[in-house]
């Protein structure tokens, strides 16, 4: 009887291993490659910038993507533009006030409309987006790419899995108290955001 129980337990464990299990991926990239992009297209000026200070963790199971949870964090102090004067204005207390609000975050609360094709999973991710201390509930289209046992190819000497998250969505600066209604000929109301980040789950 005991032998049968042990065999059943071993089979169950092997079954779970074959199906996969939730892993927590760290998005603080030691290579410093992870980034977010933002763009605004006003009548007089187009603004295109990026941010490199990405961190956060996401728990993901390729066998159950609906259970995905986690938070991606962008350090607002790392927002950059080609024009240094624009950077100074953007980070000032009149605009983003990065000294008071050092983080821009998106925290996932639910995943729906899941579609799987090979290593790629596309879905609509519901969550809370926080900018300049104001939080809004929104749903954003997201693509997950799960790369099993590929961490060593990105970080030599490391073993583990990689999760790549890509998403593009638009917010309104007036929704987040960013100089609403002002200077719209040079600073557009709509801000297009693009995220492409890789997280690591070492084994």
Tens of pLDDT, residues 120-169: 999 999 999 999 999 999 999 999 999 999 999 999 999 999 999 999 99
| Domain locations in the chain as residue ranges | 20-202
Does residue 142 contact residue 121 with C-beta atoms inside 8 Å? Answer: no
CA 184 vs CA 20, 25, 45: distances in Å: 49, 39, 10
Q: What is the pTM of this model?
A: 0.87
List the Cα angle 164/166/169 in 5-degree steps. 160
SS3 state at 13: helix
What is the domain class of 20-202 according to CATH?
mainly beta
Measure the CA dihedral 90/94/95/96, to 10°.
90
């Amino acid at each position: 009887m005991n032998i049968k129980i042990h065999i059943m337990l071993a089979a169950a464990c092997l079954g779970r291993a074959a199906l996969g299990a939730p892993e927590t991926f760290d998005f603080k990239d030691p290579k410093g490659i992870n980034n977010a992009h933002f763009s605004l297209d006003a009548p007089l000026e187009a603004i295109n910038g990026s941010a490199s200070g990405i961190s956060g963790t996401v728990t993901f199971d390729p066998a159950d993507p609906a259970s995905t949870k986690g938070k991606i964090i962008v350090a607002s102090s790392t927002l950059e533009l080609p024009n240094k004067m624009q950077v100074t204005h953007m980070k000032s207390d009149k605009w983003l006030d990065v000294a008071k609000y050092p983080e821009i975050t998106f925290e996932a609360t639910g995943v729906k409309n899941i579609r799987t094709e090979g290593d790629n999973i596309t879905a609509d991710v519901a969550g809370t987006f926080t900018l300049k201390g104001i939080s809004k509930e929104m749903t954003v289209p997201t693509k997950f790419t799960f790369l099993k046992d590929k961490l060593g190819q990105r970080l030599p000497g490391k073993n583990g899995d990689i999760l790549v998250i890509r998403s593009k969505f638009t917010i309104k600066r007036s929704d987040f108290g960013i100089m609403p209604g002002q200077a719209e000929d040079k600073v557009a109301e709509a801000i297009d955001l693009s995220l492409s980040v890789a997280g690591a789950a070492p084994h």
